[in-house]
Amino acid sequence: MTRPWFVAARRFQVMSMRALPPGFPQRYSHCFSHDFPQRPAGLPGRALSGALSGVLTALRTRLAALAGMVAACLLTACAVQPPAAPASPPTARPQAVPLAQAGQQPPAPMPGATPRQRIVQIALQEWQRWGGQTIRIGRDDTACVVSSPLPPPPALPDGIEALIQNGTLNGSLASSADTDESFGTTAAPGCAGFPDGTGMEATPQGCALAQRYWAIVGKEVDCQQITEGRWAWSAVFISWVLRQAGLNERQFLTGQSHSMYVVDARDGVLPAPAFRLEPLPAMPRPGDILCAGRGRDKYLTSVDEIGFGTTPMHCDIVVEVDATARVVKTIGGNLQQSVSMELVELGDSGLVDGFTNSHAPWLVLMRNQLP
């Protein structure tokens, strides 16, 4: 038996629905938006299920293919390679690869030192390692060894020293244009001097130190060659000091002859040169380099006469200037067969010139432009 209250409620529900506008009530999915796809109107449920099944099958196929590619890549070491390092820009002229020997007995650390200060300090350290030999280049036109760790040897017979310097005793070929070591080393009567084959370069210690300098230009030399004038090592000494001081190939290029880096500075071939040429007379500063002609080119009058790698020269690093005493202290290699300090006495002008001392006819100043 139907209850009266239920019948009344049912009648009210039917009347209420008839009063609502067409299309109401809406489905739940019509009332609220959803990101997942809804079945299009009129698409049977089975058709939708088939479409979704096809999509899933295609997706599985693509994932399987991708997994196969990844597996093949791993099996063949197909990893993403890091970008190649940029190639070093070419240098203004070829540079030899330094030998490992060039790094033996490195300079002592100099934290906080500027490039100019490092050049000076490394030159001083090397001078001390060689025993602190000192040469006076006097206003009286003399060039005398005033202190040395070794006693001077007996004088050689006339003509023998020249034969040794030119390498004609053993027929060796010159490796440097700077074969005549007479610059600053021809002792006046009564002055001590060391001819080739004597002095510190003839000792095991000196040989080992000088071999480091040749290694900076990629050459391995023996102790016999170190003592020969045709293997003059003053230019490679300068090259070694400047590399040890941190100068790169944009600032300075090494060379086995002084004329190589002098011509570099003259012709402006470097993108960031550490040195520029300045004519004499001039007052140098510590870190500058003083250069002169030697041998057949001892009295050059212009830097324009210098041939690249062919003009014999000698250069020293300026380490101290005493304007009051009118003395400039320089350090160079292969001077009296050692790394020596030269006490260059200035002339009447108080400047370095090319005529006060004929043993040191300075030609040009390489002015250091580094801090």
| Position 101 in a domain | no
| Position 121 in a domain | yes
What per-residue confidence (pLDDT) applies to 9?
A: 57
What per-residue confidence (pLDDT) applies to 64?
A: 72
Cα torsion for 208, 212, 218, 220, to the nearest 10°? Answer: 0
Instruction: Give me the number of domains the chain comprises.
Output: 1
Domain residues for 310? Answer: 115-368
**Cα(340)–Cα(207) distance, rounded to whole angstroms?**
15
Exposure string (b/e) for 114-138, b if CB count within 10 Å is 16 or more?
Answer: ebbbbbbbbbbbbbeebbebbbbbb
Give the position of tokens 């005549």: 180
Question: What pLDDT digit, counting tens, does each position of 218-260 carry?
Answer: 999 999 999 998 999 999 999 999 999 999 999 999 999 999 9
The type of residue at 299 is Y
| Position 194 in a domain | yes
What phi, psi does 192 have (nearest 5°)? -75, 150
Identify the three-state secondary structure at position 29: helix
Contacts of 201 (CB under 8 A, 6+ apart): 207, 210, 226, 227, 233, 334, 337, 338
| Position 362 in a domain | yes
Q: Report DSSP state, residue 327.
A: E
Residue 235, beta-bridge partner list: none
- CA-wise closest residue to 143 among 343, 298, 338, 281: 343
| Position 251 in a domain | yes
Strands 362-368 and 340-345, bridge-based pairing:
unpaired
| Position 91 in a domain | no
Question: What pLDDT digit, counting tens, does each position of 97-144 carry?
Answer: 999 999 999 999 999 999 999 999 999 999 999 999 999 999 999 999
Residue 352, beta-bridge partner list: 282
**Cα(337)–Cα(205) distance, rounded to whole angstroms?**
13
Longest dimension (CA), the chain: 154
**Cα(193)–Cα(185) distance, rounded to whole angstroms?**
7
Identify the three-state secondary structure at position 331: strand
What per-residue confidence (pLDDT) applies to 92?
A: 82
Spell out the per-residue pLDDT of the chain, length 371, in tens.
Answer: 555 555 555 665 555 555 555 554 544 444 444 444 444 454 455 554 555 566 567 667 776 776 666 555 555 544 555 565 555 567 889 999 999 999 999 999 999 999 999 999 999 999 999 999 999 999 999 999 999 999 988 765 555 444 444 444 444 445 566 764 555 545 566 688 899 889 999 999 999 999 999 999 999 999 999 999 899 999 999 999 999 999 999 999 999 999 999 999 999 999 999 999 999 999 999 999 999 999 999 999 999 999 999 999 999 999 999 999 999 999 999 999 999 999 999 988 999 999 999 999 999 999 999 99
What phi, psi does 342 have (nearest 5°)? -110, 130
| Position 106 in a domain | no
What per-residue confidence (pLDDT) applies to 54?
A: 65
What per-residue confidence (pLDDT) applies to 29?
A: 41
| Position 70 in a domain | no
What per-residue confidence (pLDDT) applies to 153?
A: 83
Do residues 364 and 262 make contact, with C-beta atoms less than 8 angstroms apart? yes
